[in-house]
Structure 1
Amino acid sequence: MNSLTGTRVLVLGGRGFLGRNLVDVLLRDGASVRTFDRQPSSSSTDQPAFKGNVEEFEGNFIDGQGLDAALENVDLVYHLISTTVPSGSNADPIGDVTSNLAGTLRLLKAMSRLGVNRLVYASSGGTVYGNPCVLPVPEWHTLQPISSYGVVKVAVENYLHLYSELHGLQANVLRISNPYGMHQRRIGTQGVIATFLNKLVNGQTIEIWGDGSAVRDYIYVADVARALLLAGRREKSGTFNIGSGVGHSLNDVLRVLRKQTGLETEVRYMPHRKFDVSQTFLDIERAREKLGWTPFYTLEEGCARFCQLMERAREPALV
């Protein structure tokens, strides 16, 4: 499939970080887009309207309320919802399973009932592999996550495979590394680059867990959105790593951001956390070969772009 022109697409989590970036590229590709999100609380910060004609649905992903209406007459679903983050998931694994895994099973049941058989799932290339035995990490690597977040992501992947085998679901799984860029809002809980940048701009102390040598794979969100688009165009199932293919330490990230902004602030190194993987970055050859995808942005280029857009939008607090 060369484009999604005329395809009726539902983005679960469309108001979120990945969702907002994905909706933009789907609209440009000619898709008919609707989103599904929880109703914002009265204390939530107002978010800008979508840049195009988007049909917005609200409900509760955890108990499935409102999902049937959102799924009606849909061709393709993007599942971008996660109610937890890696750093907090081990504190309440039952809640993680109840919300994310059970919620996804309700989604799959509803899709099967309504005849919707195409789905793209945003999994986690940073957590499902655990501490890898080979770098860069290929998709065939053993899945041994060390956080409940990663365990649940693996379980969802397995259920997608089950539904593919039993019910003909066409499921493409993207194991996304560590995305960053505009619309990232979980400052302080997820998103190292956005958190560091926010604190540099505001002159706040940056806290780094460990000595800063932990290596991760950081990918600019525009590259992720393009990978999601290409996965949605596929007519068969598959699993793909989506990352830069290059590892950078936390200290490297801080150095790049300091250079881009010309700003300095205090840095405090904290004790290492047991659920943090020490070193990981992804092998992205399968995505190059099967999706025709390759990242455009290096870490330096992505951070420069992020800084420019942030300054242009006048969002110094990134909220």
Structure 2
Amino acid sequence: MKVLVTGGAGFIGSHIVEELVDSHYEVVVVDNLVTGHMKNLLPQVSFYKRDVRKDMDEVFAKEKPDYVIHQAAQVSVSQSFTDPLYDCEENIVATLNILQSSAKHKVKKVVFASTAAVYGNPSYLPIDEAHHVQPISFYGLTKAHAEKYIHLFAHTHNLDFSILRYANVYGPRQDAHGEAGVIALFIEKLICGESPVIFGDGNQTRDFVFVKDVARANVAALENGKNEIFNVGTGQETSINEIIDHLAVSLRRPIQPTLRPPREGDIRSSVLKNDRAQSMLHWAPCYSLQEGLLKTVQFYQQENPYGVQEVIS
């Protein structure tokens, strides 16, 4: 079976590609390399440098993928406020383009990377998939609209799908500049000998899920969970201050963060209920926060050997 992964040279996408290869799928990657990197790609993977907002028929016609995992996106909440038009193009127009090519070339299923940001400020915790969709950022809004296109394509073109609403994904290869993951930002600051910046008081909470677990959820969704929406998270609520504490233990050094005012579009608290993914995708997270953070710090130390040195192994 062949899987086409958009954004497959990026942070999450490259881990999905590795999981697919390990599961004996043939893999085709499409990436414009704006945030992705060639060094993230395995040698046995076919690669096309393409803008997924534009015509993809040539790639689909040549490769004839059985499945599509649509990972390519603009994923920064803050950037969605500064450039909402680009956010719309990357997250709605590109998705529509992929859906059209998938329907035309008889793809069996599209797995779509969505986000917990579609829920907006939660009415209750943990958030389940029945929670109202009321985003407070343009990023969440574009992902919510992309989901609606997917539902309509399923109805009008008989195109199967699974929608995965990610919690806060972290892990090796996350770009602190391009993808704005708070853990990657913290570690980069520490490596450079700077104080990590917290927007707010640090008591805001998130559901931090390790990227390898997210990759496993995508592969599980290829054969399971037809025409369903799934939260992909740990079900564990962790504050930003607790992340700082965990990093201090891993690095064997005290960390004094710099506090700044909260940012527009940031949610106070979020944690996802993952029961549906467990029962229908037969998936559950394997990595604890401590394990995931340790692997992430070790990765950045290897990338920056003259930065932070001490890690508990």
Question: Residues 137, 159 of structure 1: CA spacing in aligned structure 2 closer, same or farther, 3 A cutoff?
Answer: same
What are the ranges of 5 or more consecutive residues in structure 2 without an aligned counterpart? 309-313
Pair 1:21-2:11 in alignment: no
What TM-score, normalized to structure 2?
0.92
What are the ranges of 5 or more consecutive residues in structure 1 without an aligned counterpart? 1-6
1:106-185 alignment to 2 at 5 Å?
106-125=97-116, 127-185=117-175
CA contact (8 A) 2:195 2:256 kept: yes
CA contact (8 A) 1:11 1:19 kept: yes
Rounded Cα–Cα distance in structure 2 between residues aligned with 1:197 and 1:90: 25
Pair 1:209-2:203 in alignment: no
Pair 1:38-2:27 in alignment: no
Rounded Cα–Cα distance in structure 2 between residues aligned with 1:317 and 1:61: 36
Deviation at 1:238, TM superposition (A): 1.2
CA contact (8 A) 1:202 1:316 kept: no
Deviation at 1:307, TM superposition (A): 2.1
Question: Residues 235, 294 of structure 1: CA spacing in aligned structure 2 closer, same or farther, 3 A cutoff?
Answer: closer
1:194-233 alignment to 2 at 5 Å?
194-233=184-223
Deviation at 1:197, TM superposition (A): 1.3
Rounded Cα–Cα distance in structure 1 between residues aligned with 2:6 and 2:174: 16
1:1-319 alignment to 2 at 5 Å?
7-39=1-33, 47-48=38-39, 50-62=41-53, 64-65=54-55, 67-72=56-61, 73-125=64-116, 127-187=117-177, 190-234=180-224, 236-312=226-302, 314=304
Question: Residues 259, 47 of structure 1: CA spacing in aligned structure 2 closer, same or farther, 3 A cutoff?
Answer: farther
Any idea what the Cα deviations from partners look like across 1:157-199, whole Å, max 9, x if unmatched?
A: 1111101111111110000101111111143751111111121
Deviation at 1:214, TM superposition (A): 0.8
Question: Residues 274, 45 of structure 1: CA spacing in aligned structure 2 closer, same or farther, 3 A cutoff?
Answer: closer
Q: Secondary structure at the match of 1:123?
A: strand
The letter for the 2-side match of 1:302 is G
Q: Secondary structure at the match of 1:83?
A: coil
Rounded Cα–Cα distance in structure 2 between residues aligned with 1:47 and 1:114: 27
Any idea what the Cα deviations from partners look like across 1:86-129, whole Å, max 9, x if unmatched?
A: 1220223233223321121122112222222410001002x111
CA contact (8 A) 2:169 2:210 kept: yes
CA contact (8 A) 2:301 2:307 kept: no
Deviation at 1:248, TM superposition (A): 0.7
Rounded Cα–Cα distance in structure 2 between residues aligned with 1:84 and 1:242: 16
Rounded Cα–Cα distance in structure 2 between residues aligned with 1:113 and 1:78: 16
Question: Residues 45, 274 of structure 1: CA spacing in aligned structure 2 closer, same or farther, 3 A cutoff?
Answer: closer
CA contact (8 A) 2:7 2:36 kept: no
The alignment covers a number of residue pairs equal to 306
